[in-house]
Every structure is written in structure tokens, then in C-alpha cells.
Copies of this chain bind each other. A is one copy, B any other.
């Protein structure tokens, strides 16, 4: 057995969407659950989390557990993603842990008709690994009581304490022991609000720290133990750019999934990790990126952070506030530092196919060239960058395609959206390459 292979049905989770289970003061306290379970296509998350913990008032949680049962039993068969309710738990409170256990026992009772559509449960506020084992033991008892297969209910946890962060480093050693069923672990989900409290961090404006080390460690643990790393909620729902930036940052850490608080965020997060339909060039100057626009086959820079003029001796290039006089060769090199190409889904498939063909022809490594004519302030320059691809490069760059294929296989409800986004033929090539 190789622990670092992902063994669950979904090898990737883009979206983790939470919904309050019971809202007080509404005609129907299950209204939000009923609305969420009807989502389809890009609005439907990979994982839906009826949230019987923080999103639901403490005095509504028994009703919330019943609402989960009713709504999932009625409509769970048609929901296109997985369903993982979050129950209550706390490393420091046996009473809370027992309440969470009772809710799991109830929700997973086959007589209630919901469990056949439920893939697992999400356990918040875990502490050290022994605390994870207590939760796992309750899963085992629930499965045993209800005649479900041992390990069939997935367990996901919210990482919102320093002790849980440390516990992630031990999973590979603990999973597989005969005394537990921790192989049921599925998602490691960061919860930065409570984590900030647990770490006692303070920022002047009250903004959450970005916790890069936590996110690295979550992604690393997911890699080492064959799990899925998911980032926590992004509070400022209106700030779509901020949400996208956070996802880009997460993806560079291998944390490909993120919490979504609204169907709008679900759409953003379902799409964010997919390559763009059209490739494009961008200029990165002083840490800020600007897209070039294509005009008649030229890549045109229209911002004012870059300027270029021809001089009698060569070129005068300004990058941000830094000016240099360069000859043509130096200009091209300098521009290669500033410019980069973002490949489309089709570009990636092309490169993979090209490498596969070269490999069949007996070559271990080939140079992939990307060339363009760039226009800055009316001056045109040809730039061309090479990158050596070997087997390792090929595999490292394959992740977006593997993810695409996982989505395509598991989310037929998104086939239409994908076809609209990329065109049928690109989708077909992408599902067959690799």
C-alpha cells in the first residue's frame, strides 16, 4: 500500500461549501439546506457541508441534525457532489464531543434514510492525534451499530489549533495501525478564525493573518498521508479579487481546495483551479501582474509600469522606476524576466502530447519553446523562452490535467459548463491525454 496515493473517490476537492442546518425565526428552519441541496453545475460544490456547528446557533443544533436527515433523505440522491455534515466537537469538552457523537449516530441511522447519500462527517476543533482517534472511534462505533462497513464513513477535520497542526505531522505514522481506522481520513481543512484565536495572534486592524506556514503544513500532511488539503473561509464575500488571489496562493502550495460561503464563491472556486480557456502573456513588475492584450498576433503592453524606446545605441527600457540602456540581446533577456506566459488548457494538452510523442521516439528531455512578438510603447520585440521538459517536469505540470479529469469523471453535471468554457474538442482532448 502506498499511503500517499489518494484512495477516496475524489482525488481532488475544489470546493467545501457550508450551509446552516437550522435557522431560527424562519417559517421553515431547513430552508437554507433545501436551497443548497438543489445546486447543480458550477454552483454546486465538490463537497457540501451541512454545518451543524459554528454556522448554526447552539440551541438549534438538535433541530439541525434532524433537518440534515430530512433534507438529505429527500433530495440527497440528486446532489452532484459529496455530502459531509459537520457535527460539533471540541478537544477540551467531553460534553461537546458526546453531543457530536449522538448527532452522528442519528444522522447515520439507515432507518432515517439519509446515510446512503452521506459520504462522511467533518469534525471541528480537534487537538492532538489522540483526540483525532477519539473521533475515529466514534465513527467506528456508529458504523458498527448501524451495520455499515467499517471505514465507509469518511472523516475530515478542521485544523484550528496549534495542536491539530502538529498532529498532521503524525498521520502517516498513525494511519494503518490495527487499533484505529484513521484511513477513513479524507480532508484536512484549515479554519483560520479559530486558529487565530488559539494562536492568540493580534493584528492592528483585526484582519486575519495569512498563516502561510499552516497552509504549507496542511498541504504537506495531505501529501504524506494521501489526503485532501482545503483552505478555510474567506470572510469578505464581496472581495472577489481577494478570494482569487488567495486561491492562487493556495494552489502554489498544493492546497487546491477552499471553503466557500456562498454559491457565488463556489462558482469562483470551482473555476479557479482550472486552466484558462485562452493563454495569455503577463508582465510582472514589482510584484504586481498585468495582462498583455493580443492585437493582430502581437502582445501589447498598455500599462504604465513598463516603457520602452529605441535610441541610437539600442533601447531604453524602464521597469517600474528602474531605467536601463540595453542592446537588443540584453533587452530580450530583461523582458524574459518580466514577461511570462499563462498556458490555456489546450496549450497544456499540446505540451503533454508533444512530450509523450518525444518519449515514444526515445527522447528523455525536450525543449518547449514559447515565443511572441511584444509591443511596448509602439516598439516591437520578439521574445522566446525555452524550458527543458523531462519526465519529472511532465508529471509536475500534469496536475491541472489530472484535476480536470477527476472533475470530468465525478461531476457530469458540469460537463455542459466545461464544454461551454473550453469547447467540446478541447474537453475531449483533455480527458484523454496523459
Distance in Å: Cβ of A222 to nearest Cβ of chain B: 8
Contact at B396–A342, with CB atoms within 8 Å? no
Which B residues touch A196, using CB under 8 A?
254, 396
Mark out the residues of chain A between 336 and 365 whose CB falls within 8 Å of any chain B CB in the assembled complex. Answer: 336-337, 340-343, 362, 364
Contact at A224–B321, with CB atoms within 8 Å? no
A202 in contact (CB, < 8 A): yes
A252 in contact (CB, < 8 A): yes
Interchain CA distance A221-B236 in the complex, whole Å = 30
Contact at A256–B200, with CB atoms within 8 Å? yes
Interchain CA distance A197-B400 in the complex, whole Å = 11
Mark out the residues of chain A between 184 and 203 whose CB falls within 8 Å of any chain B CB in the assembled complex. Answer: 193-194, 196-203
Interchain CA distance A251-B71 in the complex, whole Å = 44
Which B residues touch A127, using CB under 8 A?
4
Q: A199-B223, A199-B253 are in contact. Are A194 and B396 (CB under 8 A)?
A: yes
Most chain B beta-carbon contacts within 10 A, residue among A54, A206, A336, A390: A206
Interchain CA distance A251-B248 in the complex, whole Å = 26
Which B residues touch A209, using CB under 8 A?
252-253
In the complex, per-residue mask of A228-271: 1 if CB is within 8 Å of any chain B CB, else 0: 00000001101101100000100111101000000000000000
Which B residues touch A169, using CB under 8 A?
166, 169
Interchain CA distance A282-B205 in the complex, whole Å = 9
In the complex, per-residue mask of A1-26: 1 if CB is within 8 Å of any chain B CB, else 0: 01111000000000000000000100
Interchain CA distance A219-B362 in the complex, whole Å = 38
Interchain CA distance A251-B254 in the complex, whole Å = 25
Which B residues touch A425, using CB under 8 A?
none
Contact of A251 among B162, B203, B241 (CB under 8 A): B203
A173 in contact (CB, < 8 A): yes
Q: A128-B172, A199-B253, A333-B238 are in contact. Are A342 and B204 (CB under 8 A)?
A: yes
Which B residues touch A388, using CB under 8 A?
235
Interchain CA distance A424-B253 in the complex, whole Å = 48
Contact at B163–A193, with CB atoms within 8 Å? no
Contact at B248–A162, with CB atoms within 8 Å? no
Interchain CA distance A383-B178 in the complex, whole Å = 59
Contact at A163–B54, with CB atoms within 8 Å? no
Interchain CA distance A204-B294 in the complex, whole Å = 18
A216 in contact (CB, < 8 A): yes
Interchain CA distance A299-B392 in the complex, whole Å = 48
Interface size class of A (residues with CB under 8 A): 35 or more
Residue of B nearest to A129 (CB): B173
Interchain CA distance A172-B208 in the complex, whole Å = 26
Which B residues touch A224, using CB under 8 A?
128, 161-163, 165-166
A375 in contact (CB, < 8 A): no
A213 in contact (CB, < 8 A): yes
Distance in Å: Cβ of A330 to nearest Cβ of chain B: 12
A177 in contact (CB, < 8 A): no
Contact of A321 among B92, B128, B305 (CB under 8 A): B305
Contact at B304–A221, with CB atoms within 8 Å? no
Contact at B342–A322, with CB atoms within 8 Å? no
A74 in contact (CB, < 8 A): no
Q: A223-B198, A238-B333, A322-B305 are in contact. Are A4 and B163 (CB under 8 A)?
A: yes
A421 in contact (CB, < 8 A): no
Distance in Å: Cβ of A289 to nearest Cβ of chain B: 9
- In addition to A128-B224, A304-B323, 14 A-B residue pairs with Cβ atoms within 8 Å of each other are A4-B92, A54-B391, A128-B172, A198-B223, A199-B253, A201-B399, A204-B342, A205-B340, A205-B342, A206-B397, A212-B213, A236-B387, A239-B337, A286-B286
